[in-house]
Every structure is written in C-alpha cells, then in structure tokens.
Structure 1
C-alpha cells in the first residue's frame, strides 16, 4: 500500500509530539510505502530534516509558504471564471458554508495556472471589491485587498504543488493539510483519513486573537477562514481519528459527523524504557526537575521558569533541566534567558536537543506548562518511567494523569494554564514527598500498560488503513 502523509508545520523539520507520532507510524509499518507531503513555513528549511527518514519513505514533497516570486508584469489577467466558480471563491472568504465541491473541482483542474498570477488577476480583485462593498464599506479597500490576499495565498501555493498518486491520503491536521487530503480524494478517488492531535481551528483562533499583525476588524474574517478549511476536511474525510473523548466532542460541535470519528490514543513501548540510566550519585538533597519540550511560545517556558524561581526559594537544592531544541524560535529562547537573568535563578540548564532516554529516568518530577496540547506523548514517556508530572489543564493532560478510563488514581498534578504560583506549589508538594512521587509513578506505569501501548496504537492504524483501501476496492 502506498500512503501519502500530509503534514503541516511538523515532520520532518520539527521535533515534538506530532513529528514523533509520524515517525512511529512509518517505522512500525515496513509493509507499506510512504510519501511525505510536508508543508513548511520557510524555504530555508528545505532538506534540513530533524529525522532520519525510514527506508519505506519513497518520496518527499516539500511546499513552503514563503516560496513565491512576485511577477510585476502579470497584474490584471482574466481567468474567465464561471458565475458558479466566482461564487464559490467568494464563499471561501466571506461565508461559513463554502461551496467545496466547486472549489475542489477548480483546484484539481488547470484553470488557475499559478497562485501569484491568480491573486493578481482581475477576477480576484473583483471578488474582494464585492466583499468590501457588501460587508466592509468602512474599511480601506487596499487594507482589505492585501489582508485577504495574504490570507488565501498559502492555500493557493499548496494546491498548485503537485499532489502525488497514492492508495490512501492521511492528513495529520485540518487546515491546509486537510484541504490537500480532500483534494487527493477528489482527484484520485482514493480514501482520505484525517487525524487531529489538537484542534487546529481553536489553536489558530487563539493565535489570531493575540496577533498584532491582524487588525481588529479582520480577526473574525481570518478565524472564519480557518474554520472553513477545517470543515472541508471534516466533510470529505472517510474517517476522522482523534485521540480522546473531549476532542471528539469538540469536532462534533465544529460540524464533523460523529459517525466518522474514531478514538485511537497515542502509545509508547514499555520495553524501550527498561534499561535507561538510573538516578546516580547526587549531592545530599538534590532534586531534579525536568521538562522535555521545544522552546517555543506555545509551550510557555516562561511560566515554567517563573514557577521554578519560587521552587528554588523553597528548595535550594533543586535543579531544572529543559530538554529540547532551542533554535526553532531564537527570539523566544533569548527572552527566556533574559527572564532567568532578571529573576536571578540559578541551576537552570537548557540542554538543547538530546536523546530523551538518556535524561528522562534521572528526573524526580517532570513539568509541562503548554497553553495548548493534544495528547502529549511526553506524558506517556514520563509515566512509563514511573515519574510523576505537573501539567497544565490542556488537551488530554487531565485525562491521562487523573484517569478517564480507570479508577487507578492520580499519576500527577494538573494546574491551570499560566498560573506559575500553582505550578510551583504542585512541584514543591511532589519534591517534598518521595512516597507520593513513587505512588504516582506506579499508577502512571500501570495506566500506560493498560491503555496507552504502542502495539495497540499501531495495530489499530494498520487495521484502519486496510479497511479504508479495501472499501474502495469493493466499490
């Protein structure tokens, strides 16, 4: 079977949960061939993979959202759109019910020769002008035109990049990846599977609300646009996989048919963590607190640091290890360093990108301070090693640590987002109670063994792939 995995902003350029998940899928299914269709932000990342691609990856297609060239002599072309096509394009921008059948038909044909040429065309100009007259007559037209153009440009860049032939298309988010999965199904009459780790639209909505580069009167337009992209994927996917019940409920609320949704949790292999380094000699009373995390704003490293400043006052022998890449957002990393200096915190160590298995078993307590997550693999990795977590109440963190499938007990402490005082209090509580740490660690091990094994996770995806392709053959 030839499977095209469509990833946006993750594999193979970025480490972390979604990328690790993709790598796990591919390496554990050597019987299948995989094509990676990766959507990246910047062309400078081309070919700079964070992962060794497995032997069964037979092709990599790379699309970058900054990969376009302005052609000053191409303004004002006419594309002879039908009235139905004009209405469909307009509905993509200013409606909550786009005509996706007409749009996919346009995207799969040759009428639009290039993204840039079309967005400089008379047709696009007229569509924006019409929207402006109907709904934004108080907004300067030039602001409206350039905002909408920048909004739809990434989508048009993606759809004009050739989509490989495959037996099955598997998008690992909605958004642009979800539209491309829908397009693969439409063009090639092949099954389309969608997996959502987090809820893409909610994450984009949060970013846009906070963004300084989107003017206030355009925020609603941008937010609705991303909901439209997700609804395309929900509508056309044959199966929608989510990782836990709460996400399923949100997907249904957003318009996904409940009959399409199946829950497949993440999983880890316990045997991979058996012979890890043990806690060795330390100075008397030393406590190791760790975070396995990319140093980027969505992981909210600053809240971790503020909490550790309080922990350090109470527990002078505590040390804090932040394990993960620091080069994905160098500006944010530098802000974290400045925060450490201003708070005058000692014993904070940024290890950079490391082999987590060489560090994880040395920790007494692990911390996750994200403001958005799906079902974090790092929680399962810590739990299988018997290490308790302090984590923010995002995604499935509460379900994993406190138990949504069992009554085993608590494998950690859940705290509100961005509340560093409560996070510090929870860390101190665990650091001061070794018996509680051991009890939570044992509960975590048992929970992973019962509900979050890699074997079960892989088997369910193998079965899903086979069922999807078989259903097409039967048709």
Structure 2
C-alpha cells in the first residue's frame, strides 16, 4: 500500500515527538511505501535533515509557504467567481457549514492562475467588502483586507498544491495538513485517517490569545477560522485517532462525530532502554528532554530550577535538546538563567539522549501544551520519575488513574513554577519515593505503551480502510 503522511513543520527537519513518531511508523512498516507531505513556514533548502530516510520512503514533498511571497502579482483581475463560491469564501471566515467541495473544486479546476493574483483581485476585494457589510461593520475595511489576506494565504497556497496519488492519506494534525487530507479524499476518493497528537485548535487558540500582532477584535475571527479548518478534517476523515481518552472527548466537543473517534496511545521501543545500566553520579542531576521553544515554557522551568538551587545547592540541571529552532527564544532563556544566578545548568543542544538518561535522577517537563509526550515514556522506560505540567496525557502517564501500576511522578498546573519547584524538591529529597515512582512508571510503559503494540494497531487501521475502499498499486513513475 502507498501511504501519504501529511505533517506541518516537522519531519524530517525538526526533531521531537511527531517527527520521531513518523520515523517509527515508516521504519516499522517496511511492507508499505510512504510519501511525506511536509508543510513549513520557511524554506528548508540547505536545512539539515534530522532523520535518515528509510528505504520505503519514496519522497518528501515540501511546501514552503514563505517561498511564494516573492512571486510577481497582477492586481485587479476578475475570476468570475459565482455567488455560491463567494458565499463559500464568506462562510470560511466567521461562518459555519463551509462548502468545502466548492472551494476544493475552484482551486483544482485551474481557473485561478495564482493565489497571490487572486488575493489581489477584484473578486477578493468584493468578498472582503461583503464580509465587512454583513458581519464586521465596525472593523475598518483596510484592517479586514490585510487580516483576511494573511489568514487565508497559507491555506490557499496549500490547497493549490497538486496532491500526490496514494492508496491512503494519513494526517498527523488538523489545520493545514488536515485540510490537505480532506482535499485528497475529495479528489481521489481514497481513505483519509487523522491522528491528533495534540488538539491543534486549542494550541492555536492559546497562541492567538497571547499574540501581540493580532488586534483584539481579530482574535475571535482567527480562533473561529482554525476551528473551521479542524471541522473540515473531521468531516472528511474516515477515522479520527487520538492518543488518550481526554483528547478524544475534546475532539467530540469541538465537533468530531463520536462514531469516527478512537484511541491509539503512543509507543516506544522499550528494548532500547536499559534501566539496569543507570549509574549514580555525585550530586543530584535533573534534566529536561525538550526543544527550546516557547510552547515548552523553558522560562518557567528555569525559574523553578532557581528555587531548587537555593534549597539544594548540589544540584545540576540539563536542558537536553536542540535550541536552533527559535534562536531568539534560546538567547532569552540563556539570559534568564544568568539573571537567576543558575550555576550548574547546561544547554546541551542536540545530543545523544541515552547518555544523559543513564545518570538522571529526575526529569521535568514544563510545557503549556502537549499530546502524549514520548519523552515521558522514554524517561519512564529508564525507571526515572517525572515532574510535569498537567497538560495532554501527562497525568494519565504519571498518576495512572486507569491502571494498577501506581504513581510515576507528579503533575502541577501550567506556568506555576513555584509548585513545579516544590515537587522537584520533595522528590529530590526522597530517594525511596523516586525509586518507587521510577519502578511504577517502568512497569506501566512496558505493559501499555510499547512500539509493537502501537504499530500493530495502526497496521490494522491501514488494512481495514485499505480493504474497505480498495487499493491498487500505483507505479512510481506517476510521481516523476
């Protein structure tokens, strides 16, 4: 079977949970062929690929949304947009029941020669004008025009791409990747699976609320827009997979039909982890396996480390992971660590995580949003307890409310660095409890979160939907 994976800003240029998950899926299913359709905001030419392509990965197709902005623009064209098509555009912004088939057909028909030309056309001007008159009478036209243009430009650029033919399409989020999956289902009538590692709309909502560049009265418009994109993916998908039960419940609250939902937890290769080889170093060693980006809230972590250091001076802190994804944020974190007087802190950059797991006493995660973090599974597989923020499935992994294995760590509210510090200090002082929590987590991972178990569940989904829809082997030459 040929499977097209659709992802935003991830594989193969960014390390992390989603990229690692994609790599595992492909390498563990050598009987299938894969194409990765990767959407990113900026050009990746020359960027280092973080993962070695497995033999069954036929192609990585990149959409660089920023690359189109240098194209020449022809202003004032007419595209003879019908009234029905105009209404479909209007419902996309601040409306409901968007006519996605009509929008998809418009973009794949060849009637629009250039997305940038369309957004500079008289037709688009009329759409914005109608939107102002019908729904946003108090918003200045110029503000609405530029806001709407920046809102739909990435979406339209994605839809305007020629989708590769495959036997099955599998998106790893809603948003733009989810809409592309819906487009492929519309074009080719092939099965479309959706896996949400985190609730995309909730993550975008948090970002929009905090964003300084979006004016107050536009925040609700942006939020509704992303919910519209998610509902498009939910509508077209054959099955919507979440990583844990609470995530599934949120999907249904947003609008996903319950009969489409299912749960497949993440899994790791537990054979790679050897807790019996852990060593004890002098002092206390606390680590975070994490990309240095804002959504991981490294600053709250650093503030908690400063409190820990005051009470436990013989403590060493490690931020284990790449910091080149957002260099400005990384510099801010380094400056904060200096201003807090953190002495024994190390930003390792991209590193061999196993080398650090071998001597960590405690691991920390301070994210403001997560799905089901692979880093927690990996830490528990080494018998190391965790202190994490109460996001995604962290409480399920660490507190185990639905199993008998017992606690494997602690959870605290997001951004409450004082509480994060207190839990770190309490566990650091109690060696017996750390050992107990570590063993509980180890048993939980080995029983419930193994890679073979995850792969077998996805394999059954591929076979089920492939057999239901019927699939034919497509020659590689058709992609040249």
Q: Specify if TM > 0.5.
A: yes
* 8 Å Cα contact 1:171-1:181 kept in structure 2: yes
Would you say the 8 A contact 1:302–1:336 is kept in 2? yes
Counterpart check, 1:319 vs 2:323: no
Query: Aligned equivalents of 2:46 and 2:258: distance in 1?
Result: 38
Of 228-237 and 9-18, more deviation after overlay is shown by: 9-18
2:380 to 372, 379, 383: 383
Matched, 1:449 2:446: yes
CA contact (8 A) 1:115 1:156 kept: yes
**Within-5 A mapping of 1:210-249:** 210-249=210-249
1:108-123 pair list within 5 angstroms: 108-123=108-123
Taking a change above 3 Å as real, the CA distance of residues 71 and 361 of structure 1, as seen in their structure-2 partners, is closer
When residues 415 and 69 of structure 1 are mapped into structure 2, their CA distance, relative to the original with a 3 A threshold, is: closer
Indicate how the Cα distance of structure 1 residues 98 and 11 shifts in structure 2: closer, same or farther if over 3 A, else same: same
Structure 2: tracts of 5 or more residues without a match? 473-480
Contact 1:277 1:359 in 2 (8 A): no
Q: 1:5 to 1:72 in 2, by over 3 A?
A: closer
Secondary structure, aligned partner of 1:94: coil
The equivalences for 1:179-328 within 5 A come to: 179-274=179-274, 278-280=278-280, 282-283=281-282, 286-328=283-325
**Distance change >3 Å, CA 162–CA 295, structure 1 → 2:** same
CA contact (8 A) 1:388 1:441 kept: yes
Matches within 5 A, 1:420-431: 420-431=417-428
Offset at residue 72 of structure 1 (A): 5.6
Which TM-score applies when normalising by structure 1?
0.97
TM-superposed CA distance for 1:399, in Å, is 0.6
CA RMSD of aligned residues (A): 1.5
| Equivalent-residue separation in structure 2 for 1:466 and 1:152 (angstroms) | 35
Q: Which residue of 1 aligns with 2:345?
A: 348
Q: Deviations over 1:285-336 (max 9, x none)?
A: x010000000001000111111111111111111001100011111111111
Where does 1:83-94 land on structure 2 (aligned, <5 Å)?
83-94=83-94
Structure 1's 212 and 340: CA in aligned 2 closer, same or farther, altered over 3 A? same
Deviation at 1:278, TM superposition (A): 2.7
**8 Å CA contact retained: 1:96, 1:224:** no
Conserved? CA contact 2:73–2:116, under 8 Å:
no
- The structure-2 alpha-carbon separation of the partners of 1:401 and 1:215, relative to structure 1 and needing over 3 Å to count, comes to same
What's the CA shift for 1:212?
A: 0.7
Deviations 1:146-178 (A, max 9, x none): 110000000111111221110000000000000
Superposed, which structure 2 residues align to 1:59-74 within 5 Å?
59-70=59-70, 74=74
Contact 1:94 1:131 (C-alpha < 8 Å) held by counterparts: no
Aligned to 2:291, what secondary structure does the other structure show?
A: coil
Q: Report the Cα distance in structure 2 between the residues aligned to 1:262 and 1:407, rounded to whole angstroms.
A: 23
Alpha-carbon distance between aligned partners in 2 of 1:386 and 1:274, rounded to the nearest angstrom: 9
Count of paired positions: 472
CA distance in 2, matches of 1:71, 1:3: 32
Aligned match of 1:142: 142
Contact 1:276/1:357, CA 8 A, preserved across alignment? no
User: What stretches of structure 1 of length at least 5 have no aligned partner?
Assistant: none
| Displacement over 6 Å in runs of 4+ | none
Counterpart position of 1:392: 389
TM-score (norm 2): 0.96
Distance 1:432 1:102, change over 3 A: same
